[in-house]
Amino acid sequence: MSAKQRSIAVVGGGFGGVGAAAMLRREGYENVTVFEKGERIGGVWQHNTYPGAACDIPSHLYEYSFAPNSWSRRFSPGPEIRAYVEGVARRFGVFDKVRTGTEVTSARWVEERARWVLETSAGPHEADVLVTACGQLSVPKAPPISGLDSFEGPAFHTAEWRHDVDLVGKRVAVIGTGCSAIQVVPAIQPEVAQLDVYQRSPGWTLPKGDYAYSRLIRSVFRRLPALRRLDRASVYAFQELAAAAFTRHRWLLPLFRILGMRQIKSAIPDSELRRKVTPTYEFGCKRIMLTDDWYPTLTRDNVELVAEGIDRVTPNGIRDAAGVERPTDAIVLATGFASHDFVAPMEIAGSGGRTLSEAWAEVARAYLGLSVPGFPNMFLLYGPNTNGGSGSVVNTLECGIGHLLAALREMDASGTDRIEVRRDAAEGFDRELRAALAKTVWQSGCSNWYVDENGNDPNNWPWVWSAYRRRTERLVPGAYELGTSLTVPSPALG
Ligand code: NAP
């Protein structure tokens, strides 16, 4: 079969799924079906509609390289990003390929036919190649705080924002001080009567430097694409510097820490509040938060930062560990996501019926974050160890899709219909990865959403992002095995 006729099933209709379908079409692959369980495409940008939701990577890097956009701001707001993803889907003929409102519940590899059989909420579907694009931050995490169920008012997660709840003039509690909280708190502060922000541990920040692009600037970027590319390259270079500092060159971290300290000092005159917001752990251990308005908002009269810890939620408020109960009308859970499960709750069974959950019993791992031995013709986008404390996920996704295309080309060139990463290649990569992860700042002892309770980090890429591009753009000879079935010996790539 020609690779161009291969059927490809993509699970997830966010940046990854839309990007995959668009890039596959650009290469001539028409037999692509994207399954999206939500009613619209856009992934996290459809779910995260909380006030203040915006990009925290400059938009000229947070876009597909093949679909540059004329953004309104340096860091564009959520609705504009949603419209962009939909626009790309329309422009590249992806909309027709997407089945919205359709959840894939399981996928099973059938060896005899070298095909994947998917069970979906709309019935079964078969495909030659399975691509998962489920994101790492799509399942909201409710905190195990005692009494939360007893609260009598509305309590909801940032990723499940209740637009029917009017917060104007209300007493509101926000639990968490991560990337979502630092966006939502400044956005709702002017309209609420009282805002109590419950902090478990503070995060390091850097100035965001956000601003609206004037009509002139937008027109200059449109007319001079080289200037846009230069801006994109400069953002990329800064992100690479941060990636180097978080991984191999931690001697750079004090430079960033000075900027973070300076931001706190210039925004907060009160020494006690300064002390509360100043992290005691290494810069970069949690994700760095870019903000211009977080600290100024904490100094407003109607805002209190509660750093004593939460004892319990009561029917009408929250009692802190010092025994002080603050009445509240609504609780916002800015408490992050279940980030270690990757494709869950979908169940994937590979060769011999072995499931991905079984293969990942200790920790999720994949060769370049993309392929797993025993799971032929399957590629994971934004899979294990492809996140980072810096860098643009969109860029990472494009690298992964580039790898998928390289694999399809190899299958076509060799006239085979089965490709699987070799176990020794995957194990060799994994050893290299774990050794590099051990040296990163994320392992330096703070609580973050990367490192699990056993000290494993299944999320982050421990090198710079140009290394990810270099390693994914073509298949390393011998890393994959090509063939038509398990019983037929297959030549290694060469
Ligand atoms: P997060 O960074 O994991 O922050 C969760 C917050 O909730 C932390 O402050 C955490 O405290 C706190 N928390 C968790 N469980 C708690 C509990 N039981 N009691 C009290 N506090 C608790 O989650 P997030 O803010 O949703 O961000 C997650 C990731 O999403 C970010 O790192 C970023 O990659 C992405 N994101 C991106 C954007 C964007 O602009 N593009 C915006 C938002 C999010 P500890 O720190 O002590 O654990």
Decide whether any atom of ligand 1 lies within 6 Å of the 449 Cβ.
yes
Q: Is 172 helix (H, G, I), strand (E, B) or coil?
A: strand
257 within 8 A of 205, measured Cβ to Cβ: no
205 within 8 A of 178, measured Cβ to Cβ: no
Whether the CA torsion 220, 224, 225, 227 is positive or negative: it is negative
pLDDT at 494: 27
Residue for token digits 């979908």? 346
Decide whether any atom of ligand 1 lies within 6 Å of the 16 Cβ.
no
Token digits of residue 163 = 């637009």
Q: Nearest residue CA, atom 18 of ligand 1?
A: 143
Q: pLDDT by residue (tens digit) across 314-334? A: 999 999 999 999 999 999 999
pLDDT at 487: 45
What is the distance, to the nearest Å, from the Cα of residue 310 to the centroid of all Cα atoms in its chain?
28
Alpha-carbon distance of 252 to 464, in angstroms, equals 14
Which residues of the chain are under the pLDDT cut of 50?
A: 487-494
pLDDT at 1: 61
Alpha-carbon distance of 155 to 166, in angstroms, equals 13
pLDDT at 142: 86
Query: Residue 466: which of 287, 233, 231 has the closest Cα?
Result: 233
CA angle 437, 439, 443 (to 5 degrees): 70
CA angle 112, 116, 120 (to 5 degrees): 140
Q: pLDDT by residue (tens digit) across 120-176? A: 999 999 999 999 999 999 899 989 999 999 999 999 999 999 999 999 999 999 999
Decide whether any atom of ligand 1 lies within 6 Å of the 179 Cβ.
yes
Query: Residue 194: which of 47, 332, 303 has the closest Cα?
Result: 303
Q: Is 252 helix (H, G, I), strand (E, B) or coil?
A: helix
Q: Nearest residue CA, atom 20 of ligand 1?
A: 200
- What global pTM score does this model have? 0.94
Decide whether any atom of ligand 1 lies within 6 Å of the 287 Cβ.
yes
Decide whether any atom of ligand 1 lies within 6 Å of the 279 Cβ.
no
pLDDT at 485: 60
Alpha-carbon distance of 135 to 14, in angstroms, equals 8
Instruction: Report the atom number in ligand 1 closest to the C-alpha of 202.
Output: 46
333 Cα–ligand 1 center, Å: 9
Q: Nearest residue CA, atom 2 of ligand 1?
A: 178
**Cβ-based burial of 288 (10 A; exposed 0-12, middle 13-18, buried ≥19):** buried
Sequence-distant (6+) residues with CB within 8 A of 17 are: 10, 11, 34, 36, 41, 43, 98, 131, 133, 381
Residue 232 Cα distances to 65, 223, 307, angstroms: 9, 15, 38
Alpha-carbon distance of 256 to 236, in angstroms, equals 17
Cα Rg for the chain, rounded, in angstroms? 23
Instruction: Report the atom number in ligand 1 closest to the C-alpha of 333.
Output: 7
389 within 8 A of 57, measured Cβ to Cβ: no
| Strand intervals (E) in 154-255 | 155-157, 171-175, 194-198, 205-206
pLDDT at 434: 97
70 within 8 A of 90, measured Cβ to Cβ: no
Q: Nearest residue CA, atom 3 of ligand 1?
A: 336
Q: Nearest residue CA, atom 17 of ligand 1?
A: 143
Residue for token digits 């959950």? 357
In 360-420, which ranges are continuous DSSP H helix?
Answer: 393-414
Q: How many CA atoms lie within 13 A of 256 on its CB side?
A: 25
Alpha-carbon distance of 409 to 399, in angstroms, equals 15
Pairing of strands 310-314, 317-320: antiparallel
Of 200, 312, 319, which is best to mutate to test ligand 1, by the most ligand atoms within 8 angstroms of its C-beta? 200
Q: At what angle do helices 225-246 and 465-472 cross, to 10 degrees?
A: 110
Residue for token digits 């210039």? 266
Q: Nearest residue CA, atom 36 of ligand 1?
A: 179
* Cis amide prior to 345 (ω within 30 degrees): yes
